[in-house]
Structure 1
Amino acid sequence: MSTTSMRNTTLGAVGLAVVGSLVLTGCKSGDEELPAQPAASSPGGTSPTADASASPSTGGSAAPAGAPGTAKPGQAFKIGEAAEIPYDYGDFKGSRVALTVTAIEQGTPADLEGLKLGDKANGKVPYYIRYTVKNIGTTDMSYASVGHVRGLLGDGTEAQSLAVIGKFEKCKEESMPKGFANGQTQTSCAIALAPSAQVKVAGAEYWGNPYNAMSNSKGISWK
């Protein structure tokens, strides 16, 4: 899922136009996109907020440019621990958030029934990566969206992602509400697909700015 920021009016228009549309994205070795439509879909509401106050672990390689406390590329966290990261997109340059993966929940293949994914979904098991975003900076982040969260398989390789444009009730990727100021928290979700029931999604990774701009391309992870 891409990390974007847009005004509420624009976000609403896009949601109405393509609600229920899905894109299946492949791994690094062979990315692919497969548009799909559910048999039926209805927009959902805004997720409730939750506080992400745990402290990050230490370790990893040299820290990216920014304030002290910024998570280092390659740094690993436990599920429930918060990672401080800069948010330098669009109108929100200079913002800072605490990103916390709170749970990785296994779904069932039946969750994907009714979606026109074709053979690409055969045998796949969805996992729901639930995370919180807390504004720890001084910028109003109204309508910003923090994505670039993906699943990791047990061997550390990237899991296939299922990007949803619109609403998927079991896993909603939420933008920030109006007036998202310092101290406020929003919940969100990313979908990862395990290739079979025998292989699990065991971790999650954030690979947005500044980590995706670095030569070693290491994000930060949770297990």
Structure 2
Amino acid sequence: VPQAATAVKVGQPATVDFADKTSNVSTKLQITVTGIEVGSLQDLTAAKVPTTGLDGRTPVYVSYTVKNLGDASLSFTAPDSKFVLFDAAGNKGLPVLTASNPLPKCTGAKFQGVAKGAETKGCDIISIAGTSPVAVGYTDLNDLLKLQASWSK
């Protein structure tokens, strides 16, 4: 797992910079990864989430809370797009798109209207090649290979 500027345990907050060039929003966020739970392909098929390309991969549910510390509202942004998941071998996971079929166990956050001081909770599904997720990272604004923060169990 790459070294992060801030490394904390799951359940502890980390402050990161967030910028969305499309909506011209730049702010500071306090992110707390609250859970890293191994799921199953059966969870996804039961919720009618497509599993194409997931053979031999393990879905992992990454739960989090995002609090907006800055003045800019998060209306059309997706701060969760900066999450990366690493398995025991240091391999990065791949996001599983669930927008059309939310999974009851893991529902994405709604960022619309998250103004200064407000927070939202959500969950992203990321698949890994192994079965042991070890850390969640939050990438740097300019260099996706660098981490601003990481959370480990």
**TM-score normalised according to structure 1 size:** 0.56
CA drift of 1:160 comes to 3.1
Kindly provide the amino acid, as one letter, of the partner of residue 7 in structure 2: A
Q: Which has the larger radius of gyration?
A: 1
**Distance in 2 of aligned mates of 1:173 and 1:74:** 26
Match of 1:79 among 6, 10, 14: 10
Q: Distance in 2 between matches of 1:208 and 1:188?
A: 21
Name the one with the larger helix percent: 1
Determine the C-alpha separation between the residues in 2 that align with 1:176 and 1:80: 20
Matched, 1:177 2:105: no
Residues 102-155 of structure 1: per-residue CA shift (max 9 Å, x gap): 11012122113244434x322332110011110111222234321221211023
1:195 pairs with 2:129: yes
Q: Which of the residues 84, 90, 95 maps onto 1:161?
A: 95
- Distance in 2, matches of 1:153 and 1:123, equals 14
Q: 1:129 aligns with which of 62, 73, 81?
A: 62
Give the CA deviation at 1:79: 0.7
Instruction: List structure 1 runs of 4+ shifted beyond 6 angstroms.
Output: none
Change (3 A) 1:211 1:78: farther
Task: Kindly state the Cα deviation for residue 222 of structure 1 after the two structures are TM-superposed.
Answer: 0.9
Within 5 Å, which residues of 2 pair with 1:51-66? none
Match of 1:221 in 2: 150
Residue of structure 2 aligned with 1:99, choices 11, 31, 43:
31
CA distance in 2 between counterparts of 1:144 and 1:95 reads 11
Identity %: 23
- Normalised to the residue count of structure 2, the TM-score between the two structures is 0.79
Distance 2:95 2:16 in 1: 22
Residue type at the aligned position of 2:27: S
Q: CA deviation at 1:92?
A: 4.6
Residues paired across the two proteins, number: 144
